[in-house]
Structure 1
Amino acid sequence: MRLYKLSVLLLVLSLSVGCRSTKTLTSGAEIDKSMTAKQIIRENSKQDVRFKTLQAKVRVDYTEGNSSNGATVNLRIEKDKVIWMSAPLGLARLMITQDSVRFYEKLNNQYFDGDFSLLTKILGTDINFEKIQNILLAEPIFNLKDDTYVMVPNEESYVLQPKDQRALFELFFLINPGFFKLDSQQLFQPSEKRMLQIDYKKYQEVSKQIFPENIRIIALEKNNEIIIDLDFKAITLNGEVRFPFSIPSGYKEIELE
């Protein structure tokens, strides 16, 4: 599997009216060693965000080897239905729905129009709309209530791992002891020498709910590393949103197979 395929798909991942009340959150809480994995999972699930629509400005910085670039994009989400991103002047646009991933960019006059099957193949686990949405909202990519988890000793975060790790990959979830959102979620494929790590560096409070302010995605395949930083600004909730998307005629399809 060429790293180019992984980099393109990870870049896809990283791409108003309503209440707005934002402040950066800090946590100086210490680990409570008496808490059980079930209690931590219950507290984490209480922090799931609830909204109909979301709009934000997101600074995206993408680094692969010695190459890096960045831009500020508009992000719009209709929860559980659509994730939409647009670069300045409409130079690139992405739309993800429950059954499709569509993307085009004007610099090279090319587009991608497909589903989640290649992401599933690359990462070795089922990737779908819900998992992508969860990454952006700092929620676990796997439902923690669907498995039995155990605590791993750690001084800064509650670390949970499945009691029986999966055969194809290993999972770890690091949960903040102060407000019980994720500090990190990590997926390892030792046999393939692959790693996907999603770190939540900062959080912010918006309308009395906790949203990520900074996300760092690190993808490692053998000796090749990709880093994507996402900085969320000006989040507003429950306003009216539109999702304009139309692949321009004459564009060349991006072949990832």
Structure 2
Amino acid sequence: MPGRPPATRPPPLPSMPGPGRRAAAPPPSRTRSPPSKAKPLPMRFSLLALLVLLLFSTCQRKTAGPAANDDAAATGKLRLAQVLRSIDEHRASAEWMDARARVDVESESFSIGGTAYIRLHRDEAIWMSVKKFGIEGARALIRPDSFFLYNRLQGEYIAEPLSYIEEKYKIPARFDLLQEIFFGNAVFLTDDLEVSRAEGAIRLTGRSREFATDYRYDPATYQLSSMQLQELGQNRSVSVSNADYATVDGLPVTFPRNRRVTVDGATEGTARMDMEFTDLSFSGPLEMPFTFRSPAP
């Protein structure tokens, strides 16, 4: 992307604030750890899961709805304002989130699953630990300006600013949008979308020269059923679907326990991530440990 400064490696991983937390150890060497009896969880699983979620950050411009005459525009704008107000009233948000989810990632080159432990501190950090057969395979920490990935089984470590993802994968990475997706909310809702009804759902659509957006909401509950972003020039699309909404202690609105994120790109191929949340809590504070031992030489 023109004009963007090159990615640089940040200083050694800092520890998150909190009582009784140990200081972070220096980054491990890039040598692999001794062979494990458990099947190693590849770093690309963790990175792909992160990339699939971050791909919704590809749009940084407003996507306008189709043109209309003055009378229709005035009526449509009032209706859209009412719909957006109702959507905002049902938007999930909390200072803290602590979750366990079954995660399955499938692409054209590999398929793998595991259990993800997710902790979120709103506007501050997102922490994830992925286990397979009860053994931690990977750990991630995402902050508004940086991300850290550690493959425990293979001793692989990545510590980069979020601009690294932008440079390497041509994906503008935004922390605020990522946390909205974790909460099950829509992103890029603007005040110039077109409102209609489609297949019993409220539909919001927008289109520009570069992007097209499509959102579907339950008309009774204003729960987000699906959203899709198409990057027309790159022939790439990302879609998120939510299902199995349920009440959760500590959250005033319902939360979608099932999530599917699908990425379809002309050059990247197709990748899909399914998440089934089995445990949820919205109270804190929470520890986000990221200490580790360097593998033996």
TM-score between both structures, scaled by the size of structure 1: 0.77
Residue equivalent to 2:119: 76
Taking the TM superposition and a 5 Å limit, the aligned residue runs for 1:96-115 are: 96-115=142-161
**In structure 2, what residue type is equivalent to 1:167?**
R
Pair 1:214-2:252 in alignment: no
Pair 1:197-2:239 in alignment: yes
What is the RMSD of the two structures over their aligned residues, measured on CA atoms?
A: 2.8
Give, in angstroms, the shift of residue 122 of structure 1: 7.8
Give, in angstroms, the shift of residue 189 of structure 1: 1.6
Equivalent position SS for 2:91: coil
Name the count of aligned residue pairs: 225
> Contact (CA 8 Å) 1:76, 1:83: kept in 2 or not?
yes
Tell me the alpha carbon deviations over residues 97-151 of structure 1, each in whole angstroms, 9 at most, x when there is no partner.
1111111112332122123335446887743111100111111222x2x431112
C-alpha separation in 1, matches of 2:246 and 2:161: 32
| Paired-residue identity, % | 25
Taking the TM superposition and a 5 Å limit, the aligned residue runs for 1:88-237 are: 88=131, 89-120=135-166, 126-142=172-188, 144=189, 146-162=190-206, 165-207=207-249, 208-222=252-266, 224-237=269-282
Pair 1:239-2:239 in alignment: no
**In structure 2, what residue type is equivalent to 1:130?**
D
Structure with the higher strand share, 1 or 2: 1
C-alpha separation in 1, matches of 2:86 and 2:160: 37
C-alpha separation in 1, matches of 2:294 and 2:102: 29
Computing the radius of gyration from Cα coordinates, the structure with the larger value is 2
The worse-fitting range, judged by mean Cα deviation, of 239-248 and 218-227 is: 239-248
**In structure 2, what residue type is equivalent to 1:206?**
V
> Contact (CA 8 Å) 1:14, 1:60: kept in 2 or not?
no
Unaligned runs of 5+ in 2: 1-43, 54-75
Q: Pick from 11, 30, 48: which aligns with 2:49?
A: 11
Give, in angstroms, the shift of residue 248 of structure 1: 4.8
> Contact (CA 8 Å) 2:81, 2:191: kept in 1 or not?
no
Tell me the alpha carbon deviations over residues 66-105 of structure 1, each in whole angstroms, 9 at most, x when there is no partner.
6311001211111121111112343210111111111111
Give, in angstroms, the shift of residue 14 of structure 1: 6.6
**In structure 2, what residue type is equivalent to 1:169?**
F
Give, in angstroms, the shift of residue 218 of structure 1: 0.5
Equivalent position SS for 1:191: coil
C-alpha separation in 2, matches of 1:206 and 1:169: 35
C-alpha separation in 1, matches of 2:224 and 2:294: 42
> Contact (CA 8 Å) 1:104, 1:112: kept in 2 or not?
yes
Equivalent position SS for 2:85: helix
C-alpha separation in 2, matches of 1:192 and 1:219: 13
Residue equivalent to 2:68: none
